[in-house]
Amino acid sequence: GGENPCEGQLAIYPNPVKDYLVFSGNLKIKSVELISYSGQKLSELILTNGKVNLSNLKKGFYILKLDTDKGEKTIKIIKD
């Protein structure tokens, strides 16, 4: 009992993103990997104050792989 219905929720915005992608919610994010749509790992992203800077990313579609305290999540994002 006592389960929090908001447990493990995560919102990521804006999407499409121009500069900063904001992570909000109650998941602890340990790491964020940027992956190309073809599945190639591009880089580890630095999460600072709940944000990652994607301003120097080329336009296109990407996948973020998040390692959280509730397991792995993958999210599709669009860079504008």
pLDDT digits (tens, 9 = 90+) for 45-58: 999 999 999 999 99
Block means of pLDDT (10 residues each) for the chain, length 80 residues? 63 96 92 96 95 96 95 95
Strands (DSSP E) found in 1-80:
10-13, 20-25, 29-36, 41-45, 51-53, 60-68, 71-79
pTM of the model: 0.84
